[in-house]
Amino acid sequence: MKIIRVFWFLIFLGAVTLALTKSTVVIVTPEDKAHLYTRTIEFDYLGWTLNAVGVKTGEAGIGVTEKLTLFQKHQVVVRYFDLVRQLEDVTGKVQAIYSDPSIKDPQLTAKDDLTQQEALQAALGRLDPIVEDILQQQVAEIVIKLGIARIGEVLPPVLYHTSATPKSLITSPRNKIEQDVSISLMADLTLAETNKLEAQVEEKTGESALVVGTGGIGVYPTMVMRTSDLSWVVNTIAHE
């Protein structure tokens, strides 16, 4: 009996040892080291995609744009990008106030601008799905007219979703220009948070680190940032 017990004990010990060996994470590459600081703030592509598909399904179900004339569609798009331009202006004012060290109470100073910013964001949120549908249709029609859609249909359908796009952590060796790390991060990270992350990653990896913004991401539906540049938006939709 003792021999049998010893035998099973050795089997158990071997299995545990193997499991521990397999689960040991060896942190070697710059990317491994960077992930130590980014795991909790990395962008959730799966969650974003599922949400975007839900939004697109809702847009198709409503069918608002089908009731609009070409002139009305034009007016909606022009109005939308004018509101985006206003939002960019007021957001710039708010950022300038909050970055001015001489202003003791930036929230109070920026009170009116913050109210306007909130109102513009709400208005744009209501128009986002309508404008997305209009531009998707127009890009698809152009693709068909150009003969790019060989069977008379654009497959997969042109779909994009306006969204705050993720930031990206990039690292490079200090002695040459070479991208060692590229990690997508949450879109709403503050300047203080990105500065702290850069410092942590540089100390851990010994490389130069920089967090940058992104404009459009090649997922499906295409992720496109909100901007007042209509030409850029259309080009990004078509390209992605």
Sequence length of the chain is 240
Instruction: Kindly report, residue by residue over 33-64, the tens digit of the pLDDT.
Output: 899 999 999 999 999 998 888 878 876 666 77
User: Which of 238 and 96 is assigned the larger pLDDT?
Assistant: 96
Buried residues in 107-144 as b, exposed as e (16+ CB within 10 A):
eeebeebbebbeebeeebeebbbbbbbbbbebbbeeee
Domain coordinates in residue numbering, the chain: 64-155
Question: What is the mean predicted confidence (pLDDT) over 78-104?
Answer: 92
Burial of 34 (0-12, 13-18, 19+ CB in 10 A): buried
Could you tell me the pTM of the whole model? 0.71
152: number of Cβ within 10 Å: 7
Nearest to 87 by CA among 51, 115, 68: 115
Instruction: Kindly report, residue by residue over 183-208, the tens digit of the pLDDT.
Output: 999 988 887 788 899 999 999 989 99
Percent of the chain residues topping a pLDDT of 90: 41
